[in-house]
Amino acid sequence: MPDIVGTWRLVETTAHDLDGNAMPQPYGPSPMGVVTFNAEGRMMAVLCDGRTAMPDEQPDREYASYCGNFTFDGTRLITKADAASHPSRMAIDQIRQVSFEGERMVLRPPIDQVGGVDRQRVLIWEKISPK
């Protein structure tokens, strides 16, 4: 089973509708993020839109952070958040499908909706520290 323990940085995000059509990138064209998993089963993540200024048509900056205990079975990551930037993440299982492309970890959160359209986000991470 791949080892996710360590610190990872967000390198790319994509999104598409259920027909495969591209949608705006989560966290914008310059995403920033760090996630750390420790050997004791604890994690924390911080993600944001990394642009220095937001365009007029999109004044709100996308941001998320949370932490909690996690389990990983090789293909599915489950985190029970006990602190979060948004209350909807609290005390429920945060489930991510996980795959690996070479050294990169690919996380697929559950399908959500943007403007009434179902969306699948894809977040690609690279390990920057093994522990």
67 with 83: CB under 8 angstroms?
yes
Average of pLDDT values for 67-88? 94
- Tens of pLDDT, residue by residue over 3-56, are 899 999 999 999 999 999 999 999 999 999 999 999 999 999 999 999 999 988
R_g of the chain, CA atoms, integer Å: 15
Residues 6+ apart with CB under 8 A from 56: none
127 with 2: CB under 8 angstroms?
no
CATH of domain 6-129: 2.40.128
Spans of all domains in the chain: 6-129
Joined together, the tokens standing for residue 111 give 């399908």
Question: H helices of 4-131, where?
Answer: none
pLDDT(1) > 70: no
What pTM value is reported for the model?
A: 0.91
Strand intervals (E) in 30-75: 31-37, 42-49, 63-72
